């Protein structure tokens, strides 16, 4: 449903989408992604509460990469285990190693099953790391973390880990990996090209998809 400029602003939208799915009797599941910085925004707590009260099929996925912009999560959060918040809202939760693709896949499957079979929401805290700066204005590690920390975390790169796991199991050879890598790069580059070449939307588009048309 798009990206959102306001940190945490989309969590109540996810609760609403979940309610719409339930109301219409659909079998869709709404997956809502947000950073650790969103956890201390009021909308996070309101959305989790409403989703639990209304039993909506929503998966709240917190990508906890230890920093909100340049602020260490532990400096601003009284509760640093995000998954613990779920018990305040009688919601299922899992703490997941986000550097392990298969672990994330397993947790996502369990959350989808919970949503589809029982209409229950889930909070997934996915522990991960940001290898690049937060934005164009943030150099790779800024002053809030060390170069060594970034380099150390890069050793846990989930894509590299999965590739070596698949290679060890004989499921992927070097050539197949390189082809896949080139395909994904080309797809990303094509998307950037499409965005850069597309005309800016006109003012008449401002309220599109905001209100029922």
Ligand X SMILES: Cc1ncc(C[n+]2csc(CCOP(=O)(O)OP(=O)(O)O)c2C)c(N)n1
Binding site for ligand X (CB under 6 A): 5-7, 35-38, 63, 65, 67-69, 130, 134
65 binds Mg ion (CB under 5 A): yes
Least separation in angstroms between residue 65's CB and Mg ion is 4
Least separation in angstroms between residue 16's CB and ligand X is 19
* Nearest in space to 35 (alpha carbons), one of 74, 92, 84, 73: 73
Least separation in angstroms between residue 65's CB and ligand X is 5
CA–CA gap between residue 143 and residue 36 (Å, rounded): 19
35 binds Mg ion (CB under 5 A): yes
By beta-carbon proximity to ligand X, the closer residue of 12 and 119 is: 12
By beta-carbon proximity to ligand X, the closer residue of 89 and 129 is: 129
Binding span for Mg ion by CB under 5 A among 33-41, 112-120, 159-167, 195-203 = 33-41
SS3 for 10? coil
The interface partner of residue 89, options being Mg ion, ligand X, none and the CB cut-off 5 to 8 Å by kind, is none
Residue 52 CA, chain-centre distance (Å), reads: 20
By beta-carbon proximity to Mg ion, the closer residue of 68 and 121 is: 68
Residues 183, 188, 192, 195, Cα dihedral to 10°: 100
CA–CA gap between residue 208 and residue 201 (Å, rounded): 11
Among 36, 94, 100, 125, binds Mg ion (CB under 5 A): 36
SS3 for 92? strand
CA–CA gap between residue 126 and residue 61 (Å, rounded): 7
By beta-carbon proximity to Mg ion, the closer residue of 35 and 57 is: 35
8 binds Mg ion (CB under 5 A): no
The interface partner of residue 100, options being ligand X, Mg ion, none and the CB cut-off 5 to 8 Å by kind, is none
68-101 burial by CB neighbour count: b if 16+ within 10 A, else e? beeeebeeebeeeebbebbeebebbbbebebbbb
128 binds Mg ion (CB under 5 A): no
By beta-carbon proximity to Mg ion, the closer residue of 72 and 162 is: 72
């Amino acid at each position: 449903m798009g990206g959102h400029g306001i940190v945490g602003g989309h969590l109540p939208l996810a609760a609403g989408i979940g309610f719409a799915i339930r109301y219409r009797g659909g079998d869709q599941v709404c997956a809502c992604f947000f950073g650790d910085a969103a956890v201390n925004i009021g909308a996070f707590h309101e959305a989790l509460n409403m989703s639990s009260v209304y039993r909506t099929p929503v998966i709240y996925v917190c990508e906890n990469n230890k920093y909100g912009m340049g602020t260490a999560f532990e400096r601003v959060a009284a509760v640093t285990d995000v998954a613990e918040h779920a018990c305040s809202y009688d919601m299922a939760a899992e703490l997941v190693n986000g550097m392990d693709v298969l672990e994330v896949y397993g947790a996502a499957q369990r959350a989808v099953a919970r949503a589809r079979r029982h209409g229950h929401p889930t909070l997934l805290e996915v522990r991960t790391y940001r290898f690049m700066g937060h934005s164009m204005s943030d150099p790779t590690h800024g002053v809030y973390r060390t170069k060594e920390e970034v380099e150390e975390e890069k050793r846990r790169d989930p894509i590299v880990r999965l590739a070596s796991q698949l290679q060890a199991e004989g499921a992927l050879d070097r050539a197949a990996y390189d082809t896949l890598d080139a395909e994904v790069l080309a797809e990303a580059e094509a998307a950037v090209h499409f965005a850069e070449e597309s005309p800016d939307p006109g003012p008449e588009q401002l309220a599109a998809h905001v209100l029922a048309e």
